[in-house]
Structure 1
Amino acid sequence: MDDVKRNNEENLSMDEIFESMDDFSMRRGSTKEAEVYSIQPDGLLVLFDGKLDGFVPESELVHPLGKYGIGDKIKVTILKVNEEEGRSTASEIRVYRKEALKEVESKFRKNEPVKGRIISKVSSGYEVKLLNVVDAFLPGSHSGLKLDDEIPEETLDFKVINFRRSKRGAPRIVVSLKELKDLRIKSFLDSIKEGYVVTGVVESLKKFGAFVKLTNDVTGLIPASEVSWDSSVRIEKVLKPGDKVEAKVIGIDKENQKISLSLKQLRKDPWQDIEERFPVGSVHKGKVKSIVPFGFFVAIEDGIEGLVHISEVFWGNARKKLQEVVKVGDEVLVKVKEINKEKRTLSLSYREALGDPWDNIESKYPVGKVVEGKVAKLLPTGVIVELEEYVSGFVPLSEISWNFVDKVEDVVKEGDTVSALIVSVDRENRRMRLSLKKATEDPWKKVSEDLSVGDYVSGEIVRTIKSGAIVLVDGYEIEAFLPVSQVSDKKVENIDETVEVGQKHQFKIIRLVYDPENDTRNMVVSIRQYLKDLEKKEAEEAMKELSSDDNPTLSLGDKIKEQLKNSENAPSE
């Protein structure tokens, strides 16, 4: 029926509409129910008892114009009546304000929240509209807002903390956001206990932890140490703003309204049964996490990290740097040496996980075996040869070469691959004695078979020393000693003035010793004796020629004189 009336009146002209109002009278101050007939730019046209008779200006509406629809029912108060035009002006807000004021007072008495919005910022606080129509004041200290915070646009719950009526004007109403917030926070904190699991959204990340929003009023903190059992895991690798997370409540400070949370405690503590899962003596694979001057740390599981002390890295007195053995990120085998569950520390061994190479050293490197190795270090007293990692042997100076060794570097250099004979093995003290020269055939054996004292040999001066020179004997690759006294018939003060390195000479062997049982081998040679023998031989040959001369009447002395005379008269070349 209402729709029919409305449709009929929509077809009326404005004159006909005003005529229809002539017989209808309105009283100022009366309260009527009205129906929205038309939405105008500056207010609403409304129907009273089905007849068009009123206008509600926008300033007298409870809600913005956009909130109203045609057909909506509202209560209004008649402000004035224009009898000439047959039209009245009405106000919705004045009816609603009375009711809203009663509701606000009731909420104050009952200590209940009331809806409202912050309208603007004023001195020392904010202007608030409760239920859209009741003016109230929000002190800054009760707002919970910072000076540079933006004013919230949404409808909020306020607590009325003061309601004082005035005889002459509107009542003075003071509200608080903070008290309600404190009540909500208290209620939330009272509803949880340590050990509870709560859900929230990550608001922000800091170096010290993550802030998680649990309610609109309550934010908890997950300390960085409570993100993972693995202390090396960085918080940003696990969480990011906006993530929804579950966390365990590990601390509640009601006085300061703070909650501490933990992610890692939702999972089993890996140290809880550490002794059962990683017993002392067991070997496990792990990852090198960091290298420090005194060793390196290895993670064998998330949250389980132990130290390999430098004393547990090498077998023997290795002089390598830790960085030459492992690098961060390497997967390595380690053996559990010690567990301290209370301090959450593990002592690990890298070397024992690899195994002690000296355990079966005698079977792997028996005495008399010739092996290959790498020259690791040159010393004034000999050479260190590495046979494998952590297994090295010492070659004394006397065992480097069958020949005399003045400087080790003249024979071998660091990094050279050499063959060596194992002379002795001391497993208990981790020592091995090697011989480079005995890994090859003894050249002195052939010398002793082929040569004797008095024999002549040729050779090259390879170096000089204060007391003589060293000669490399041709065909045998052994070194003989040429004393300075055996260089010439004349007295030699400085051998370098008589012979030069690289010169080839003939020599006479004046001493030869080959005593392998006492490890004695040497040869002494002489240029002087060789030259004497040569002169003697030449003299004997000359005498032999003279004695066979065709003039038998001359004595041997006369023949020599004649020969000398002939040589003097012979033309010089």
Structure 2
Amino acid sequence: VKGKVVSLKEFGVFVEIEEGVEGLIHISDLSWGYVKHPREVVKVGDIVEAKVLEIDPERRRISLGLKQIFPDPWENIEEKYPVGSTVRVRVNKVSTRGALVEVEEGVEGRIPLEELSWKRVTRVNDVVRRNQLVEAKVLAIDRESRQLTLSLRALRPNPWEEAQTRWQVGDIVEGKIQRLMNFGAFVELAPEIEALLPLSEIAWEPVKHPSQVFKKGQTVSLKIIEFKPEEQRIVVSRKALLPDPWEIIKTRYPLGSIHEGKVVRLVDFGAFVELEEGWDGLVHISEIAEERISSPQEVLKEGDVVKVKVIKLDDAERKIGLSIKQALREEEEKARKEQTQEGKITLGDVIGEKLATILNNLKK
């Protein structure tokens, strides 16, 4: 039937078929494609040709369809857009999950976020924009949801295939800092290949945020510590290329050595003593004094300078165990030995002088 558009509503269009007889074209029956509002298709006063879908005499309602005049573009979809074929599409909408595109009127597709590029994409607008025309590869056809699944990256060589033969764990690589995140940084090693530099692998000392060390675009040398090209995952480390301060600390504070340190924190189970900036050792409560104490505060306070003996170096935990009482014991023992040695020398000197006097008198 032919009729005149007399009214536009959000849910559809009222068409006057003849005087006193109107039909409704629901918004979903205006086009095979997505329609946000009827005004995108028709305007008041337009003469349209529509197909009668349903007549309800009791409710005096006629349902019409405009799109039914034209063939359903999904009838031969597999022939027009077979899986594996390349199609030119227009980007209709971008979101955090990817992009929605129009293949033709009535045929829509989606490009998932992971199919936009071989590298990690955080902002879809960095790859595609609304109304942009792009070529994509058909990955799947879903008749039920009337949607194609498409890919941009499938039209380009997979860089991870080359990466399999290019790198391995232990290799030293150069990369450019792309993004700084709370948990670390993403580093570009090659076009469309990024590696993760975890926060814990930036430096031996604690780093709260990668921006303390890096700037976006900075080139850095790194060591590959995890390499899984089949999962498109590379983990790198900066600290692996830096001297391990723990090895230096072990050389500077060997087992059995005695040092001076400052009490920086008291806890129920002992006291933490700073040996140098960034390195504390724990004096367990049982190693504070010879006598039994119930709390470190009985004999220590923060800021006290004390002598401590290194009694434990834990490689796994990178922790130092200290003892105040053993250091004091050794210091006292050392002092006793020195006093005894001084006493022996003094007595010998005195006897020697007396013997010399007697011998001189005999000679006379």
* TM-score bucket of the superposed structures, by smaller chain: 0.5 to 0.7
Pick aligned residue for 2:93 from 285, 288, 299: 288
Tell me the distance in 2 between the aligned counterparts of 1:461 and 1:435.
34
Matched-pair identity in %: 27
Q: Deviations over 1:181-224 (max 9, x none)?
A: xxxxxxxxxxxxx8xxx5x5322234554344466687665443
Count of aligned positions: 317
| TM-score, scaled relative to structure 2 | 0.59
Pairwise CA distance, 1:442: 0.8
Amino acid at match of 2:226: S
| TM-score, scaled relative to structure 1 | 0.42
Mean CA deviation greater in 223-232 or 456-465: 456-465
Pick aligned residue for 1:387 from 186, 189, 199: 186
Pairwise CA distance, 1:508: 3.0
In the alignment, is the contact (CA less than 8 A) between 1:459 and 1:471 conserved in 2?
yes
Equivalent residue of 1:225, what SS?
Answer: helix
Pairwise CA distance, 1:539: 4.1
In the alignment, is the contact (CA less than 8 A) between 2:23 and 2:62 conserved in 1?
yes
Pairwise CA distance, 1:417: 6.3
Shift in CA distance, 247/296, structure 1 to aligned 2, threshold 3 Å: farther
Map 1:81-480 → 2, pairs under 5 A:
198=2, 200-207=3-10, 209-213=12-16, 221-243=24-46, 245-249=47-51, 262-264=65-67, 269-272=72-75, 274-275=77-78, 278-281=81-84, 282=86, 284=89, 286-288=91-93, 298-301=100-103, 302-306=105-109, 313=113, 331=130, 336-341=138-143, 343=144, 345-348=146-149, 366-368=168-170, 369=172, 376=182, 385=184, 387=186, 411-413=206-208, 422-428=224-230, 438-450=240-252, 452-463=254-265, 468-474=270-276, 477-480=278-281
Pick aligned residue for 2:323 from 492, 512, 526: 526
List alignment gaps of at least 5 residues for structure 2. Answer: 116-121, 188-192, 215-221, 352-364
List alignment gaps of at least 5 residues for structure 1. Answer: 1-193, 316-323, 378-384, 404-410, 554-573
Shift in CA distance, 223/401, structure 1 to aligned 2, threshold 3 Å: closer
In the alignment, is the contact (CA less than 8 A) between 2:310 and 2:320 conserved in 1?
yes
Tell me the distance in 2 between the aligned counterparts of 1:524 and 1:326.
52
Amino acid at match of 1:530: A
Shift in CA distance, 337/250, structure 1 to aligned 2, threshold 3 Å: farther
In the alignment, is the contact (CA less than 8 A) between 2:194 and 2:234 conserved in 1?
no
Larger radius of gyration: 1
Q: Deviations over 1:369-410 (max 9, x none)?
A: 477675656xxxxxxx463699657788xx89868xxxxxxx
Equivalent residue of 1:337, what SS?
Answer: strand
In the alignment, is the contact (CA less than 8 A) between 2:51 and 2:68 conserved in 1?
no
Amino acid at match of 1:533: E
Pairwise CA distance, 1:246: 4.0
Amino acid at match of 2:92: K
Q: Which residue of 1 aligns with 2:355?
A: none
Equivalent residue of 1:535, what SS?
Answer: helix
In the alignment, is the contact (CA less than 8 A) between 1:358 and 1:391 conserved in 2?
no
Q: Deviations over 1:478-526 (max 9, x none)?
A: 4444343332333343335444455443333345577xxxx68664433
Amino acid at match of 2:329: K
Tell me the distance in 2 between the aligned counterparts of 1:438 and 1:501.
35
Shift in CA distance, 430/465, structure 1 to aligned 2, threshold 3 Å: farther
In the alignment, is the contact (CA less than 8 A) between 2:139 and 2:151 conserved in 1?
no
